[in-house]
């Protein structure tokens, strides 16, 4: 099955029909209806929601032979979704083998978007035969640990130029839902590329790395004997004094990182306790594998030489990269510091980011910030991954405690865990290039871009509407309002086909006009006449808001399909003059004059200059050189004034 997803003539596979299904139809008939949405290709996992959309479109246009084959494809898709092994009594949660097979299948199906890397070995692979033999189904030979990188390798940006995200799961092996959620997010990114405009630019500008199962030995044990409630890895070297295997010998990987390690107020020195911190900082091979992988992807210039003596040093708003560690349960978001109830030096940015991760979920359900100097700081956890990644590698780091139980029921997992946390993960990857800067800026809550009905014949107008807010996502229920959300939204800029971080003054940009405000949400809009040098076809529009303190928020985007112009005269006004409606003229860097169709000559509120940091990133300012059209518009405005 195929779907047009990038523009005329650009088609992407939704899923394959197997040879058995193809044999049910006459091949010549299938080829006849290829343009209706059918094709044969090498095996690819089905994107069921997109497949349903194509089938629905076929029904609307009465492409009956195509419908018949598409329905068979739906049947095939359903079979594909059941081909991966699941955890007993949890049909929505793939087990270790199912997750691993899914990972390799995704890499095979998306060779330019996904790669698998062997990043290390588990304890039992390095020490075969060391497991306690009376425990059932112990993987005596251990496992490899896998990293999974999702990015567009055909992008014009090199790896060094891309933002980095690392999301790990399956650290505590009894927390079944974490690996499944992580895999669902990877699948969303891969399924959405070519179709979802935000995912397109994310994968062009960002590497999203995954470790789906950070503790394979422990996960295998937890799945083999659910009564063990296994949490730790399978290093039993220090657990020989435990009375029973059920006492859980092994090391808690999330107390073994070499930052604030060994503090008994946040971990245990007892090998039989669930939070045993191990024999030495970073002693466990699984932890070593995660650290080595993180160091290979995050920028080295951010690493600290003496992390534990630098806990009061700001990492800074130019910090890049995001680390996320997914656990369960409790519906919590946490961030540094975790080893002590004390705020980190970048708390404004970390707290704003953490609050937005929580608010990105469904606001109708309770959320908790397990964070320093918050009412819901539960207890200290020393030697954990988030403190290490922020404290030692200088990366914005967060933890998720998802759902309500370790072994989440499927209705709760599907309706709450997935629905709540996928938007939060999307926010994280959108802000990954400058997380400690963007988290303090305003958010685009909605972006609507549509072509005027009379575009082809007379108007060539594009209607744009944006809702933005500095406070909506950062202020969460049951917590005080936060000061990073106190600023006004000073403006919204649209960029055509050039991501704001790559904008150097060339290309088309528009400043939107303020329309109204309600409940802390501002509406901006504009009717733009599309410039004549914009070719027909699919384009991408990026929107970014700025607040009165000069903080920018994360970028949001939308596709726009520009029709072909049939009347060349529509590029001019009735009197033959160039229409100035889309022109923004900078009278000074701090007080641009927006020329709007119904407000020609009216001065907008002065917009403060964007923080110098962004100018450094762009290697220049965002001021736009005036074209001949702008000069003509300047003359018009001068006459009006």
User: CA dihedral defined by 121, 126, 131, 137, rounded to 10 degrees?
Assistant: 40
DSSP strand pairing (396-402 vs 322-328) = parallel
Tokens linked to 518: 């309600």
421: preceding bond cis by omega (within 30 degrees): no
Q: Please state, in angstroms and rounded to a whole number, the distance separating the CA atoms of residues 381 and 337.
A: 9
Helices (H), 378-445: 385-391, 410-412, 419-430, 435-438
Main-chain phi, psi angles of 301, to 5 degrees = -65, -15
Tokens linked to 67: 């419908």
From residue 112, alpha-carbon distances to 188, 195, 245 in Å are 16, 16, 45
**Helix (H) or strand (E) run with residue 69 in it:** helix 64-81
Q: Which of 317, 401, 408, 582 is catalytic?
A: 401
From residue 523, alpha-carbon distances to 427, 446, 492, 527 in Å are 21, 9, 10, 14
**By three-state DSSP, how is residue 210 classified?**
strand
Tokens linked to 90: 């949890």
Instruction: Indicate the angle between helix axes 216-224 and 96-109, nearest 10 degrees.
Output: 130
Angle at CA of residue 527, ends 611 and 629, nearest 5°: 75
- 401 is annotated as an active-site residue: yes
- Residues annotated as catalytic are 401
């Amino acid at each position: 099955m195929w779907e047009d997803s990038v523009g005329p003539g650009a088609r992407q596979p939704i899923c394959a029909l197997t040879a058995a299904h193809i044999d049910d139809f006459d091949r010549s008939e299938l080829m006849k209806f290829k343009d209706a949405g059918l094709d044969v290709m090498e095996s690819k996992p089905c994107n069921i929601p997109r497949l349903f959309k194509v089938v629905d479109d076929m029904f609307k246009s009465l492409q009956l032979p195509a419908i018949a084959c598409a329905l068979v494809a739906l049947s095939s898709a359903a079979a594909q979704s059941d081909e991966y092994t699941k955890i007993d009594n949890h049909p929505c949660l793939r087990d270790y083998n199912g997750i691993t097979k899914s990972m390799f299948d995704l890499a095979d199906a998306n060779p330019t978007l996904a790669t698998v890397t062997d990043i290390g070995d588990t304890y039992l692979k390095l020490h075969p035969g060391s497991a306690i033999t009376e425990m059932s189904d112990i993987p005596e030979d251990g496992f490899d640990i896998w990293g999974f990188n999702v990015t567009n390798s055909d992008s014009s940006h090199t790896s060094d130029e891309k933002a980095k995200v690392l999301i790990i799961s399956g650290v505590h092996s009894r927390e079944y839902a974490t690996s499944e959620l992580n895999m669902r997010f990877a699948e969303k990114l891969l399924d959405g590329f070519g179709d979802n405009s935000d995912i397109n630019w994310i994968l062009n500008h960002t590497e999203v790395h995954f470790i789906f199962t950070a503790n394979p030995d422990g996960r295998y044990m937890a799945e083999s004997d659910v009564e063990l409630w296994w949490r730790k890895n399978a290093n039993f070297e220090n657990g020989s004094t435990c009375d029973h295997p059920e006492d859980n010998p092994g090391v808690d990987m999330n107390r073994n990182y070499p930052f604030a390690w060994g503090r008994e107020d946040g971990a245990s020195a007892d090998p039989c306790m669930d939070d045993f911190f191990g024999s030495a900082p970073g002693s466990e091979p699984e932890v070593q594998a995660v650290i080595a992988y993180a160091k290979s992807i995050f920028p080295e210039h951010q690493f600290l030489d003496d992390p534990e003596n630098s806990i009061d040093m700001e990492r800074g708003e130019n910090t890049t990269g995001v680390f996320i560690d997914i656990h369960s349960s409790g519906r919590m978001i946490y961030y540094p510091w975790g080893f002590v109830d004390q705020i980190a030096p970048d708390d404004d940015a970390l707290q704003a980011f953490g609050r937005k991760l929580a608010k990105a979920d469904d606001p109708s359900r309770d959320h908790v910030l397990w964070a320093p100097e918050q009412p819901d700081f539960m207890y200290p956890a020393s030697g954990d991954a988030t403190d290490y990644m922020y404290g030692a590698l200088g990366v914005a780091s967060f933890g998720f405690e998802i759902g309500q139980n370790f072994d989440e029921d499927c209705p709760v997992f599907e309706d709450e865990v997935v629905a709540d946390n996928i938007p939060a993960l999307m926010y994280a990857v959108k802000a990954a290039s400058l997380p400690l800067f963007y988290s303090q800026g305003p958010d685009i809550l909605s972006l609507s871009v549509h072509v005027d009905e009379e575009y082809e014949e007379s108007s060539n107008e594009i209607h744009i509407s944006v809702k933005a807010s500095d406070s909506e996502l950062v202020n969460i229920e049951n917590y005080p309002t936060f000061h990073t959300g106190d600023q006004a939204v000073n403006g919204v800029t649209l960029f055509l086909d050039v991501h704001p971080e790559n904008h150097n003054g060339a290309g088309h940009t528009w400043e939107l006009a303020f329309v109204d405000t309600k409940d802390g949400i501002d509406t901006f809009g504009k009717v733009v006449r599309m410039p004549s040098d914009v070719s027909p076809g699919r384009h991408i529009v990026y929107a970014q808001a700025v607040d009165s303190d000069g903080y920018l928020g994360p970028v949001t985007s939308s596709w726009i399909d520009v029709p072909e112009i049939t009347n060349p005269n529509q590029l001019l006004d009735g009197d033959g003059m160039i229409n100035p409606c889309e022109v923004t003229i900078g009278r000074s860097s701090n007080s641009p004059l927006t020329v709007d169709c119904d407000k020609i000559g009216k001065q907008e509120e002065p917009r403060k200059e964007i923080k110098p940091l962004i100018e450094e990133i762009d290697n220049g300012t965002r001021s736009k050189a005036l074209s001949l059209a702008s000069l003509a518009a300047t003359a018009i405005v001068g006459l009006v004034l």
